[in-house]
Amino acid sequence: MEKVDLDKMSPEDLELSIKQTKLLFKFNHTEPMTEEYSALLNELLDGNIGENSTITTTFAGAAFDHMKIGNNVFINSNCLAMARGEITIEDDVMLAGNVQLLSNNHDEYERQVLLCEKIVIKKGAWIGAGASIMPGVTVGKYAIVGAGAIVTKDVPDYSVVVGIPAKVIKTLEKDKFDE
C-alpha cells in the first residue's frame, strides 16, 4: 500500500493536478465522438488508452496519469475514477453507468493522507451500473459485477458477484468465451 500525503505534494504534482482538472472539464464539455474529444481523452490519460476504447461523458476523478485502458473498452457515463493508486482496465471490458473505481481511501486519523492500492479489471469483465470497486481489488477475466455491488475483495475469473459486500453467486462456463 502506498501512502500519499496531499499536504506534501510537489509543485509539479500540483501543476499536473490543475492541468488534469482543466482537461477533464474541457473533455466533459466537448462534442462527443469528434477528433477533439478523442485528443482530449488521450491527453487526459497520458496516452494510456487502447484502440477502439470509449469513455462517455460525464467522466470524473483524479490522477488520470495513473490509469491504463486497453483495447475495445467501453466506459459509460458518470464514471468516477480515483486513480492515485493506479487503475488498469484490460481489453474488452465494459463498465455501465455510474461505476466508481476507487483506488485510494483516506487514512482514518490523517485525512490528508491517501492510502493507495491498485485496481485491476481483467479482460472481458463487465461491471454493472452503480457498482463500486474498492482499493486493491482485482476483477477476474470475464467476471461480472452486478449492478450496485460494492466489491471489497478480489473477484475470481468467470465469477458473477452481487451485493454489499459483493459475494460470488455463480461461476460462468469458461468454454463459452472466445479466447
CA distances 10 to 6, 85, 118, 128, 179, Å, are 9, 17, 22, 37, 44
Cell numbers given for 56: 462517455
Neighbour tally for 122: CB within 10 Å:
20
> Of residues 106, 112, 163, 165, which has the active-site annotation?
106
Does 106 participate in catalysis according to the annotation? yes
Distance between first and last Cα of the chain: 33
Measured CA to CA, the distance from residue 125 to residue 130 in angstroms comes to: 15
Cell numbers given for 172: 460462468
- φ, ψ dihedrals at 80, nearest 5°: -110, 115
Beta bridge partners of 3: 115
Residues marked as catalytic? 106
